[in-house]
Amino acid sequence: MNNYQVNKDGYYGEFGGAYIPEILHRCVEELRESYLKVLENDDFKKEFTQLLHDYVGRPSPLYLAKRLSEKYNCTIYLKREDLNHTGAHKINNALGQVLLARRMGKKRIIAETGAGQHGVATATVCALMNMECIIYMGKTDVERQHINVERMKMLGATVCPVTSGNMTLKDATNEAIRDWCCHPADTYYIIGSTVGPHPYPDMVARLQSVISEEIKKQLFAHEGRDYPDYLIACVGGGSNAAGTIFHYLNDERVKIILAEAGGKGINSGMSAATIHLGRTGIIHGSKTLLMQNEDGQIIEPYSISAGLDYPGVGPLHSNLASKHRATVFAINDDEAINAGYELTRLEGIIPALESAHALGALSKIKFRPSDIVVLTVSGRGDKDIETYLNNKPDSYK
């Protein structure tokens, strides 16, 4: 049987590993030695589970979307990560990593953020746990995502605008890594997705795997079987998708559908469809598919959705795609916007633009009436209202 989980060296097939500067070697090694011990420790599990329940609001509902099902002529359940505290799945990971950092004796939390969602989730948990919190964010994003910057500050975090490169996520990540190099002893770096050097992709996938753990139980209660025919999720770095598929990775009865950001089209020069367009390279400590030119320089990604606007993708997903375990669709901006409006009008749920890419995949698949589909709504759309309004499709005017 194929095994799509990480191997003991930190690889998923040919992807993954830890390609890091010498100065970070001890930090990453310390993390690698600690993470499984802590995550499997009873005291950690008890505290994490309790907070997921009482603070985050888990389990998130598995909602049978009747009108959406009718439209696509199959049975569609929505996994409602949009109903979590702070409005997305990212809090699952931020909470888990702060609990781990405390157990490793770290006093100072740093993180990078693009749209600000991971920054807000991290600042939220740091407020809860009374930890110092420093968030690196590209200056361009600081200006574009003003409300999230104010949320982080209100929560007590220090937001550091980054002025190198394009002043966006990739540059913020470089700056966070630089900080970590300067303060290796007391600082814990929380990565917000299934990216970065091993053990981050596996650790983040495990912390998000509560999503598929719940799907199993909830689907059994609804349907009398604990697996769907299809799982669908959007992919930026890959954490909500990893959580959605974690317990089904090696169950080949379940088809895995991933939706990445096509932007204005994969051949338009304005895209973030890394799996379609990327070649193997190294970004932020991981060997993975990467949008790069002939000289290996990173190509700036573009997507209408800030959370999917990343030139790399998690090594787990690179492997699933290259082994054809997952089918990957590039969903363009306009397709995502349309799908977002469709869900809003059919079910009264305004999805995050990222999640709208997963919904955009529905029209690309030929379902049978007996098919059971679980689609993860990774976040709520409140943050995206302006973009939805400025790009309103004619059919909804």
Ligand X SMILES: *Cc1c(COP(=O)(O)O)cnc(C)c1O
Q: Which residues bind ligand X (CB under 6 A)?
A: 88, 90, 117, 193, 234-241, 307-308, 352, 354-355, 378-379
Q: Quote the CA–CA distance of 111 and 309 in Å, as a whole number.
A: 17
Whose Cβ is closer to ligand X: residue 117's or residue 168's?
117
Helices within 323-368 (DSSP H only): 333-347, 353-360
- From the list 239, 286, 355, 378, the catalytic residue is 378
Q: Is 90 annotated as catalytic? A: yes
User: How far is residue 191 CA from its own chain's centroid?
Assistant: 10
- From the list 60, 69, 90, 106, the catalytic residue is 90
Q: Is 112 annotated as catalytic? A: yes
Q: Which residue in the shown chain puts its C-beta closest to ligand X?
A: 379
Whose Cβ is closer to ligand X: residue 118's or residue 287's?
118
Q: How far is the CB of 215 from ligand X (least distance, A)?
A: 16
Whose Cβ is closer to ligand X: residue 74's or residue 249's?
249
Q: How far is the CB of 78 from ligand X (least distance, A)?
A: 13
Both tokens of 21, joined, read 């500067």
Q: How far is the CB of 8 from ligand X (least distance, A)?
A: 24
Q: How far is the CB of 203 from ligand X (least distance, A)?
A: 13
Helices within 246-314 (DSSP H only): 274-277
Both tokens of 177, joined, read 């890594």
Residues 6+ apart with CB under 8 A from 52: 58, 92, 95, 210
- From the list 81, 112, 175, 342, the catalytic residue is 112
Whose Cβ is closer to ligand X: residue 75's or residue 303's?
303
- The three-class DSSP label of residue 294 is coil
Q: Quote the CA–CA distance of 142 and 113 in Å, as a whole number.
A: 10
Q: Quote the CA–CA distance of 343 and 108 in Å, as a whole number.
A: 41
Whose Cβ is closer to ligand X: residue 247's or residue 371's?
247
Closest CA to 75 of 86, 65, 85: 65
Q: How far is the CB of 133 from ligand X (least distance, A)?
A: 18
In the chain the first and final C-alpha atoms are separated, in Å, by: 51
Burial label, 201 (beta-carbon count in 10 A; 0-12, 13-18, 19+): buried
In degrees rounded to 5, what are phi and psi of residue 289?
A: -70, 140
Q: Is 47 annotated as catalytic? A: no
Whose Cβ is closer to ligand X: residue 187's or residue 193's?
193
Q: Quote the CA–CA distance of 272 and 88 in Å, as a whole number.
A: 21
Q: How far is the CB of 353 from ligand X (least distance, A)?
A: 8
Which residues belong to the active site? 90, 112, 378
